Amino acid sequence: MSLEERVSRGTLVINVEACKGCDLCIDACKPRVLEMTTDEFNSRGYRYPRLLAGCTACHACALICPDFVFQVWKYDDEGDAAAEGGAHGS
């Protein structure tokens, strides 16, 4: 299954400005759906995570994050990742 076809059981709201770029969420995420930006920074100069399809709402990211960056949602019914639209998140 290609990345675009992975099903997201949950999603996140990411408080980009709160992030201090520590990268802990990247390894904590078992489905590996978080990726740090490389050339984009928040207003404090830190890189921050972006979400790919396939989130399971396990909230490991929220548990490990020192800066309270994540709000974790679990969908009431499983849906296609494509239903969320393909625009770059911010």
State how far the Cα of 11 lies from the Cα of 21, in Å rounded to an integer.
20
Number of Cβ within 10 Å of residue 47's Cβ equals: 18
Q: Is 58 one of the binding residues for other proteins (CB under 8 A)?
A: yes
Give the shortest CB-30-to-other proteins separation in angstroms. 8
Q: Tokens 């290609």 map to which residue?
A: 2
Q: Is 7 one of the binding residues for other proteins (CB under 8 A)?
A: no
Q: Which of 13, 38, 42, 43 binds other proteins (CB under 8 A)?
A: 13
* Residues near other proteins (CB under 8 A), total: 56
Under the rule (CB under 8 A), what is the footprint of other proteins? 2-4, 8, 10-16, 18, 20-24, 26-28, 35, 46, 50-53, 57-60, 62-77, 79, 81, 83-90
